[in-house]
Each structure stands twice: as C-alpha cells, then as structure tokens.
Amino acid sequence: MDLELDYKDGVLFVRPNGEVDIGVSDELRKVLEDNLEKKLVSHLVFNLSKVSFIDSSGLGVILGRYKKVRKQGGQVSLVAPQPQVRRILALSGLLTILKEYSSEEEAASAGGVRGKRDA
Amino acid sequence: MHNQARLEFTSLPANVAFARVAVAAFASQLDFTLNDLEEIKVAVSEAVANAVIHAYENRPEGIVIVEMVITDEILEIRVEDRGKGIANVKKALEPSYSTDPERMGLGFVFMQSFMDSLHVESSVGKGTIVTMSKKVGSGKNWQNAH
C-alpha cells in the first residue's frame, strides 16, 4: 500500500493505494494518528478509489479514526470505493454511519470546507 | 475433480496477503465468479489475520498452515495455528465480539457471510483450526438478504 495525504482548510484527504489489511493497518493508523494530533482536522476524507482490497483490519482503522474525529466534532467521509471494497463496507455497517461521495470535491463541499464557503 | 495444496508459513502480517492471493489462485481452477474470489480472499485474510494477531499475539515465530482442497465443485479451506486457542468459540463467533477495540469483531462475520460453511475447532494452549467451504454457484448473495 502506498499512501498520500493532503491537508487543506481543515480537511485531511487520505489516499491509500493498494491493499489495506493487517500488513499495513498499523502503519496507516500511526500516520493518521500523528496527523490528527498535529493538525486541526474537521473533516477526514478517505479516498478509497485506489484501494483494491480491504478487510476488517482496514475497516478498524477507519472506524477508530471516525470515533476520534467525531468526538472532536468533526466528520469522516468515504470517496469512490471500488465495488468489492464497497460490499465489505456495506456488510460491516460502516456505510450506515459514514457518508459516501463520488469525488473528493463533492465530499469537501458537502462537509463545508472552512474558508471556501464564503469564496 | 480433486486437487489439493498446502501452505505453511510464519505468522507475519505480510503473509496474510500471500495466503489470500495463493488461495484465490488455487480457487480460480473452479468456475468461481470474480465476486466469489474476492469473498474467498476476505475470508482467508480474516482467518489468517486471526492466527497472526490472536493465536500468536503478533509473535512472528508461530506457524500457520493453510490447506485447500477442491472436490468437484467445492473448495474447502483449512487454516490451522498452534497458538493460544480460543476459550469460548461460541462467543467468539458472535458479531462484534472483539478483544481489541481497534478491530471490529467482524472477522468471523465475514467468514460466515462469504463462505457456505464455517467450522471452528479450538483448544486453549493448543491452537485453532478454522474450516470453511464454498461451492461454485452457491449463489450466496447477502446483499439481497439485507
């Protein structure tokens, strides 16, 4: 798995690329925790368009961050999961608590990117 | 048709991907759909991850054995560890049962949902054997059931 992060106006975009399983979940969790500690994140956006596989270890990372961000009053969104990944998300129940968008732009505007609303 | 294969590897997280890809490649000898193969990959991933995280508690010196057998149109997968075992299998099979707050307790739920059968045999201090099977065209479609 490769990982790309982008932070803009309170939104942290997370773009994993590849398979998200127990082999990489600890590393992903650590990177996200570091970022959530150092940055003011009001909206965490997981772009799953390049995730080809996810299991409960990967879902646990998403759910754990959801709990944390929600506690701080923020929100977590998912963007464009591939069909096989989406089925896992649906079966886990995560789709009932997380909002799903087709693009990062859509997610960011729905979440209200700070500073952009007035522009 | 009868075919069988066996994998034996150390309990490293990186080997979870190896196991699921190897089993999916073996399973593709049968006429499984791509969706079926994805489901088999998730089930194997969960079973092997359980062995690595729970049975061996992330100690890398454990041994995980994955056996796969094709008999006619049925794939049977057996994941065996010699780790600490599960004290209460019935409870472990309940949805959301988890000993770790970061994990969702979905491992066995996925195995049950994606395979036609699941059997867990465990003995504390001796290890666990998870046996699951899937038949070609069994048409298990949980999406319609939910």
Q: What is the CATH number of the domain that holds B117?
A: 3.30.565.10
pLDDT value of residue B102 = 66
- pLDDT, tens only, B9-63: 999 999 999 999 999 999 999 999 999 999 999 999 999 999 999 999 989 999 9
Classified as helix, coil or strand, A96 is: helix
Which position among B15, B20, B39, B50 bears the catalytic label? B50
Q: Does any domain span residue B34?
A: yes
Q: Catalytic annotation on B20?
A: no
Number of structural domains in chain B: 1
Which has the closest alpha carbon to A40: A78, A80, A86, A73?
A73
Number of structural domains in chain A: 1
Q: Does any domain span residue B144?
A: no
- pLDDT, tens only, A71-81: 999 999 999 99
End-to-end CA distance of chain B: 34
Contact B129, B79 (CB under 8 A): yes
Q: Does any domain span residue A111?
A: no
Q: What is the ipTM of this complex?
A: 0.88
Q: Does any domain span residue A41?
A: yes
A112 contact B CB<8A? no
- What is the CATH classification number for the domain harbouring A99? 3.30.750.24
| Strand B74-81 versus strand B63-71 pairing type | antiparallel
Q: Does any domain span residue A94?
A: yes
Contact A1, A24 (CB under 8 A): yes
Q: How much of chain A, in percent, has pLDDT values that exceed 70?
A: 93
User: What range defines the domain where residue A31 resides?
Assistant: 2-106
pLDDT value of residue A118 = 38
Q: Does any domain span residue A113?
A: no
pLDDT value of residue B101 = 63
pLDDT value of residue A41 = 95
Region A31-59 average pLDDT: 96
To the nearest whole Å, the CA of A1 is away from the closest chain B CA by: 11
Q: Number of C-alpha atoms within 13 angstroms, CB side, residue A31?
A: 16
Least trusted range by pLDDT, from A10-14, A27-31, A99-103, B91-95 = B91-95
User: What range defines the domain where residue B11 resides?
Assistant: 2-138
Q: Does any domain span residue B75?
A: yes
Which has the closest alpha carbon to B16: A29, A33, A56?
A56
- Sequence-separated (6 or more) residues with CB below 8 Å from residue B12: B52, B60
To the nearest whole Å, the CA of B22 is away from the closest chain A CA by: 15
Residues 24-83 of A with CB under 8 A from B: 26, 29, 53, 55-57, 59-61, 63-64
**Tokens 């994993």 sit at which residue?**
A16
pLDDT value of residue B94 = 85
Q: Does any domain span residue B37?
A: yes
Q: Catalytic annotation on B78?
A: no
CA distance A11 to A7: 6
pLDDT value of residue B95 = 78
| Alpha-carbon A40 to chain mean position | 15
